[in-house]
Structure 1
């Protein structure tokens, strides 16, 4: 049971982080190429973000996984899934915030409009 718990604690966060990275990679790459100037620089930050999301999912699971052998496997899996998602969410939010800070100054200011579509 202890080996099964540990393997679940490693497998779920890695699978969730990999799925998220594969989903975000295409759009993140195009944004980072624009911000960084070259594909190599963008690739560096993509890999850093992947590692951050991987560790963001693994660390809470390894820190808070139930150690009691009396808990059913389903409860342990639920705990692992919850902490994996919390960690991955925090990591993606942190990455998104960092990218957002770089993107917003580059965006052109928009004129405020009132119902007519005309600038105020």
Structure 2
């Protein structure tokens, strides 16, 4: 893995390039935890010899996985990572709160917030 910090503020931005034999999600997760133990976001593109992709099934509170057992190109890989029950990083209005009933940390808007409002 090679990386370079591209921006320091208002939020740190890192450019990460993985080696062909590295497992992308594990490497990015480890990197994110080392750089920002509270919360992080990832945006990526790339190609893989095989991949497991999935979506979160809210009813099952687990991910549904599909294996692509051939070379594939990832056009968009997006994700958020949060550690802990009450993650505060960035504006208070965008604080992520762990929702045990869903098994996810989600943005928690203030009570009474209207669509398109700042509060």
TM range (shorter): under 0.3
Q: Flag the structure with higher helix content.
A: 1
The structure with more radius of gyration? 1
- Could you say which structure has the greater relative contact order, defined with CA pairs below 8 angstroms and 6 or more residues apart? 1
Q: Flag the structure with higher strand content.
A: 2
TM-score normalised to structure 1 length? 0.26
